[in-house]
Amino acid sequence: MSALGQVRIGGKAPFFQCEAVISGVIEEVSLSTYIKPSTKPATPDPQKPWLIILFIPAAFSFVCPTEVLAFQNCYEEFKDRNCGVVFVSVDTKHSLWHWTNVPRQYGGLGQIDIPLLSDATHRMAKDYGVLIEDQGVSLRGMFIVDGEGIVQQITLNNLTVGRSVLEALRLLEAFQAVAKHGVLCPIDWKPSSGAADTINTISNTLAESYDERL
């Protein structure tokens, strides 16, 4: 069982500080490495970097490497949208380093750029409410954190089902559009589909998209 810890949508992302494997090097990182809130919260800067935090159960498993490598393949797309991506595992920093030094044909990740954060103490998993305590591993949690350190989105998957990179990108773009333009994003929203900002716009969307289905 797992219950959301300190984290709440619309609340501050819990602070973390840990060691990570980044491009083959072990470094110390924290939430402040990626998120730098404004000194005046009343006037947030929509251009500040965002962060997606992805928890995985364990290195050298089955579903986890498919997620890490899929996000690695789209890493530049997230960076183009001014958003960092990190994976968090309860493995030690040494296990994570080894995971990136084993070739993919032998079950490793090979060389990647996405940071792998070591949560060997389980502190971060507890704070973010994803720890399955009786198993000592994390649920597949995804947290989108805006440039002010506010959690905008939470997704939790059980251990057996991986997440979607395309959906993560879509959600990121939607929340960034809201932050920058103050719009509303309806179901399946994409940047090419526009957004709603008035009652008339919403009414037109309903009439055009759903009348024929009723």
List 64, 74, 83, 185, catalytic entry: 64
Q: How far apart are CA 164 and CA 119, in angstroms?
A: 23
Cα of 8 vs its chain's centroid, Å: 14
Residue given tokens 């072990």 in the structure block: 26
Beta bridge partners of 50: 83
Positive or negative, the CA dihedral 63, 68, 71, 73 is negative
Beta bridge partners of 49: none
Q: Does residue 69 contact residue 104 with C-beta atoms inside 8 Å?
A: yes
Q: How far apart are CA 61 and CA 72, in angstroms?
A: 17
Q: How far apart are CA 129 and CA 126, in angstroms?
A: 5
Question: Is position 64 annotated as part of the catalytic site?
Answer: yes
The dihedral over CA atoms of 61, 83, 5, 178, expressed in degrees to the nearest 10, equals -130
Cα of 176 vs its chain's centroid, Å: 14
Write the DSSP symbol of residue 108. S
Which are the catalytic amino acids?
A: 64
